[in-house]
């Protein structure tokens, strides 16, 4: 099998793609577009470049998720032309701007000052300002700050412009080997074990139609997440783990949940950024195996039977053991009652 071919199911440990260009190693790149390329740029029919100076408004600018070559010409032009760039981390963005020789002033805009900063920026936008929002990597607003100010700008009647580019979830999806016809992006799985299991159980019980499920995950939680997926969806559940997308050590682990888990467990350390994808076509094996895993409702029923606990006490106990709130346990319990009914 050559480097570029891989069976859809077989686990491919080595990088299944040719190595991506070095992460953050693009050589000095100066697009042949002037600061204001609006002057007379012609484009093939159906495509356009803008012929006017940058319009006032809010620009949500995607930045690379590892490989600097993934910046777009338009992103560079916008970042050069706006009055200010609001950054998740000004130091991180300074590296990107420095690389492309952009000297636009920056301002911090992160989870902790999002609300206060958004109001300030909205005032500037109301007086005709041009503001760009960037996150540390990828698309602002996707598991990153950006959505709050976009919503406020829309509510205030301020134009909001998406400047598309790299995104980890979609990059992983298109190379996963799973269907991209229907998919759901879930962001990060809950970090607490009980909440994570409850979310996965809920997802499994709603796999009525084929669709791909996409999660962001961290290296220190991936083994636990995969162990839960193996238990809840069954060891034969097909998954893809996309690591270090667009970077030097880009890697796809494609296979069953059990195989990918075993492969990661065998490594001395697990590093890098990662996207986890679950193929939402339940296999008969997965369904059989999953049905033997006790759900929250099973655990409640079992406690009521074995220890003669009331419903309320059993729910409290299960909530405690799963490290979730009583109301969350109650909601999951009601959902399973509805499913059974």
Give contact residues for ligand SAM (rule: CB under 6 A): 65-66, 135, 137-139, 142-144, 167-169, 216-218, 242, 244-247, 273-275
DSSP 147-183: HHHHHHHHHTT--EEEE----HHHHHHHHHSS--SSE
Minimum Å gap between C-beta 86 and ligand SAM is 15
Please, which residue, 152 or 240, has the CB nearer to ligand SAM? 240
Based on C-alpha coordinates, what's the Rg of the chain?
Answer: 24
Cα separations in angstroms, 304 against 191, 301, 318, 322, 328: 28, 5, 11, 17, 19
Please, which residue, 230 or 246, has the CB nearer to ligand SAM? 246
Please, which residue, 201 or 251, has the CB nearer to ligand SAM? 251
Minimum Å gap between C-beta 134 and ligand SAM is 10
Please, which residue, 168 or 329, has the CB nearer to ligand SAM? 168
Minimum Å gap between C-beta 286 and ligand SAM is 24
The 10 Å Cβ neighbour count of residue 40 is 7
Bridging pattern class, strands 238-243 and 84-87: unpaired
Please, which residue, 159 or 187, has the CB nearer to ligand SAM? 187
The residue with its CB nearest to ligand SAM is: 138
Cα separations in angstroms, 296 against 66, 158, 201, 332: 40, 46, 9, 7
Strand partners, 133: 60, 86
Minimum Å gap between C-beta 101 and ligand SAM is 24
Bridging pattern class, strands 106-108 and 84-87: parallel
Minimum Å gap between C-beta 80 and ligand SAM is 22
Contacts of 96 (CB under 8 A, 6+ apart): 63, 64, 68, 71, 134
Q: Which of 337, 328, 326 is nearest to 297 (CA)?
A: 337
Minimum Å gap between C-beta 187 and ligand SAM is 8
Minimum Å gap between C-beta 62 and ligand SAM is 7
Please, which residue, 97 or 290, has the CB nearer to ligand SAM? 97
Please, which residue, 38 or 136, has the CB nearer to ligand SAM? 136
């Amino acid at each position: 099998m050559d480097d570029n071919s891989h069976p859809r199911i077989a686990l491919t440990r080595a990088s299944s793609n040719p190595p991506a260009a070095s992460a953050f190693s693009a050589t000095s790149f100066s697009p042949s577009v002037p600061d204001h390329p609006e002057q007379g740029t012609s484009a093939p029919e159906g495509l356009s470049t803008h012929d006017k100076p940058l319009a006032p408004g809010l620009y949500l600018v995607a930045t690379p998720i590892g490989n600097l070559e993934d910046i777009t010409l338009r992103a560079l032009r916008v970042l050069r032309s706006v009055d200010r760039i609001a950054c998740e981390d000004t130091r991180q963005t300074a590296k990107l701007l420095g690389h492309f020789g952009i000297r636009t002033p920056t301002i911090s805009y992160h989870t902790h000052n999002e609300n206060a900063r958004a109001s300030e920026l909205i005032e500037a936008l109301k007086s005709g300002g041009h503001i760009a929002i960037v996150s540390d990597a990828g698309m602002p607003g996707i598991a990153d700050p950006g959505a709050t100010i976009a919503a406020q700008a829309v509510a205030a009647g301020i134009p909001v412009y998406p400047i598309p580019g790299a995104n980890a979830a979609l990059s992983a999806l298109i190379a996963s080997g799973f269907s991209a016809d229907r998919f759901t992006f879930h962001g990060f799985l809950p970090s607490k074990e009980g909440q994570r299991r409850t979310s996965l159980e809920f997802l499994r019980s709603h796999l009525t139609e084929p669709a791909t499920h996409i999660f962001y995950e961290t290296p220190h939680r991936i083994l636990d997440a995969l162990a839960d997926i193996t238990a809840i969806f069954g060891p034969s559940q097909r998954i893809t783990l996309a690591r270090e997308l667009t970077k030097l050590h880009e890697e796809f682990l494609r296979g069953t949940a059990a195989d990918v888990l075993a492969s990661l467990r065998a490594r001395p350390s697990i590093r890098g950024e990662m996207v986890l994808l679950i193929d939402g076509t339940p296999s008969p094996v997965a369904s059989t195996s999953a049905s033997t895993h006790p759900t929250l409702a099973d655990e409640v029923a079992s406690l009521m039977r074995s220890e003669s606990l009331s419903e309320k006490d059993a729910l409290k106990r299960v909530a405690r053991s799963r490290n979730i709130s009583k109301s969350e346990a109650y909601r999951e319990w009601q959902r399973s009652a509805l499913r059974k009914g």
